Structure 1
């Protein structure tokens, strides 16, 4: 991977600022000259930093071939915004040049009336391919597959196979991995282009093909994409319930699916909704909406903590020192639970574990939490006993042992419970665990204090 020098980075940033300023001042001649020598990646970067109106203005100045490449690299939500700012003839031309799976992603972001109009404007063959992809459920891999591929027959010779590849070079999604199907379109094998090119011209495809890796079109998109990436496949075959070939999933599409899924998980584990467009291109209102729901949920959950403090108010009145350690205890418990939940959520995503492993996961996290609690509790006991008194040290130490054990156990179990009820494990992790551990941790703390201190 080529690393950009400091001078190149500074030049790139200066060019971006020049374009942004020129667009804002309607100096289109300067914009046209500035973008003439820019690569596609740089143009995408500039577009992502502009507002909706200026983005449409800049896009109209791009040469046609460059415009198509740039459009394909934008997020679907930004594509949707751009479509609304372009003329109908421009939109129709762009839409027709997209691959069927990319069209479907854009259609998902557009109003139904606009989507229907674009579909009607497609040639019959393209409309049929797009409708095939559009017919699968929202989160199914069939919705993200490409229906444009080169398929071979097992009784073809290598010479015939190469001729078939040459005929489809311009419209096929990829030719590096080629599916092999029988007369009924049932998938029977795959063959790499290298193997075909290395074989003698009279060799049959059946002699060089290998067993295929495939997924059903109705399988979850993230699971299929992760399998494709783990197997290091250039393309995975997508079949229907009768194992008839309906499309392919290329590695670049698989990695894009995983990138989006990981971004969603990271956002939800942090108590926010994922952004559907680059940060600088996201309106302030959208940023607020992505965060406010979770803040309200957490605020309501925090009322449990307040109620616990109110119940044990008399205990605090008798030993005011106990109040000093409340932030330490609930913070440690929340962090312990979040660590466990993050670890288990990641293991679920990688298929290292499944919901049926919940007993083993709970047992492991119980031992991990207990070990962490003993280490942290031991240190806390010594330090607190030296500063205050041994009885206070015992309360803090025992509470840390209990809270860490509880938090790790619950944190490990919740993602598995979420997967069992078909919810997003990330949603059930950090925000939920923090609220739960805060309330239960305080109950444990005050019960231990009452028992040890006799109050």
Structure 2
């Protein structure tokens, strides 16, 4: 069902058929259509959704459309939506909304939910506690399988996941059991007989990205979260982990491109916000490039003696920047997926040097032949440029692989050592290497 067909039903006031169509659609598909409609059409369609479906659609919408919807809904309609939302999703929505909208949303929730929301809002922004869900299935070790299944039937409808249940004793996590094990075990068996005591868990103040990586690494549906007293306080589910990894990847890509991270969508961000995110990096890189200009000025006499030297500068700087960017991208990716750690720095450098030697030999050979043919069979010039090429590529690979590792060690985001910054650093280093080699070769 596409946008045009939805609009036709709206214009024909065929609400009964439209309601049936919406019931058969996935909430994500509905969100995509709603975000293309104007405010009035969006509100009309949203009001046709069933309560459960409306809550899912509301959670998945972008913040601007969601705010429009909140302003249009009555208090009772808003209360119905909030009742169907999970607490962690509610917290995510509140964090994106302005203060006046947050107040209205909180008024639409019951007192018990507000207490849970306030507790989650107190955790640091990027911590596991800030994204965890406090709704989970808790069992006792002395329960029978039949008791456990009965409890899941009674309270499972209000929980985000029931596939993994956690066994607690005085709120302390002592084990876990899958629903599959409950359904295949004898009803008279006790939970302590079938539970797994080796439980992977995270703490409330752990970095959310580390928690998401743990879920991904071990293929978990959810991971339990314990507080400083080792009490179970919530779970982080795989869908929340995927969103965290997506946000972290988006942030890294932005930083690698020399753009300040921005949580809003591309089209949802104003021109001035885009400009504000990009200008500081560009300003820094532009000013740092003046060092390269000063070095070129220092070698002005050498260039006056051999003007041809100037023609090779763009090629060498471009090659150095590209080689450095290749290495840094691979290292940043390795750090992101946990494949590379700081302790591997010497292994990484040794490997990159060998790669650089192979790559630089091929580039120097091809470039040497080109120079020999184009510049009057000048062997000295070919050799000088060949040696410069080898030195530049080796240097670029070493710098490109080392800087992200050092950034990680210092607690910085390795992505800041990506293409724009490394290229600027290498431009300066390339000029120094190049003119030192050619002035030595030609005695100028």
Q: TM-score of the superposition, structure 2-length normalised?
A: 0.89
Kindly tell me: are residues 375 and 316 of structure 1, through their superposed partners in 2, closer, same or farther at Cα, counting changes over 3 Å?
same
Higher mean C-alpha displacement, 27-36 vs 331-340: 27-36
Q: Give the gaps of 5 or more residues in structure 1.
A: 1-10
Q: Using the TM superposition, name which of 81-90 and 294-303 deviates more.
A: 81-90
From the superposition, tell whether residues 49 and 431 of structure 1 become closer, same or farther in structure 2 (CA, over 3 Å): farther
Give 1:374-453 correspondences, 5 Å limit.
Answer: 374-388=361-375, 389-453=378-442
Identify the residue that residue 115 of structure 1 maps to in structure 2: 102
Of the three residues 325, 346, 349, the one matched with 1:338 is 325
Q: 1:286 to 1:44 in 2, by over 3 A?
A: farther
Deviation at 1:42, TM superposition (A): 3.1
**Hey, what's the Cα distance between the residues in 2 that align with 1:418 and 1:120?**
45
For residue 239 of structure 1, the aligned residue among 217, 226, 239 is 226
1:290 aligns with 2:277: yes
Once the two structures are TM-superposed, the CA of residue 377 in structure 1 deviates from its matched residue by 2.0
Answer yes or no: is the 8 Å Cα contact 1:78–1:277 preserved in 2: no
State the distance in 1 between where 2:289 and 2:70 align: 43
CA 1:136 to 1:69, structure 2 compared with 1: closer, same or farther past 3 Å?
same
Q: Is residue 12 of structure 2 the alignment partner of residue 12 of structure 1?
A: no
2:310 paired with 1:323: yes
Comparing 232-241 with 103-112, greater Cα deviation is found at: 103-112
Alignment pair present for 1:214 and 2:201: yes
Report the 3-state secondary structure (helix = DSSP H, G, I; strand = E; otherwise coil) of the residue aligned with 1:279.
Answer: coil
Matched residue, 1:372: 359
1:303 & 1:197 partners in 2: Cα distance? 70
Q: CA RMSD in A?
A: 2.8
- What pairs up with 1:18-97 in 2 under 5 angstroms? 37-38=21-22, 39=25, 40-49=27-36, 57=43, 61-65=47-51, 66-76=53-63, 79-80=66-67, 82-83=69-70, 90-97=77-84
Partner of 1:185: 171
Q: Of 171, 195, 216, which aligns to 1:229?
A: 216
Larger CA deviation: 147-156 vs 31-40: 31-40
Q: Paired residue for 1:195, among 173, 181, 194?
A: 181
Answer yes or no: is 1:205 the counterpart of 2:195: no
Q: Distance in 1 between matches of 2:261 and 2:300?
A: 40
C-alpha contact 1:148 1:172 (8 A) present in aligned 2: yes
- 2: distance between equivalents of 1:264 and 1:28? 44
Alignment match of 2:152 (pick from 150, 154, 165):
165
Which secondary structure does the structure 1 equivalent of 2:140 belong to? coil
CA 1:78–1:243 in 2, change beyond 3 Å: closer, same or farther?
Answer: farther
Aligned length: 437
Aligned-pair distance for 1:293?
2.9
Structure 2 counterpart SS, 1:426: helix
What is the deviation of 1:171? 0.6
Structure 2 residues without counterparts, runs of 5 or longer: none
User: TM-score scaled by structure 1?
Assistant: 0.87
Distance (whole Å) between structure 1 residues aligned to residue 40 and residue 286 of structure 2: 39
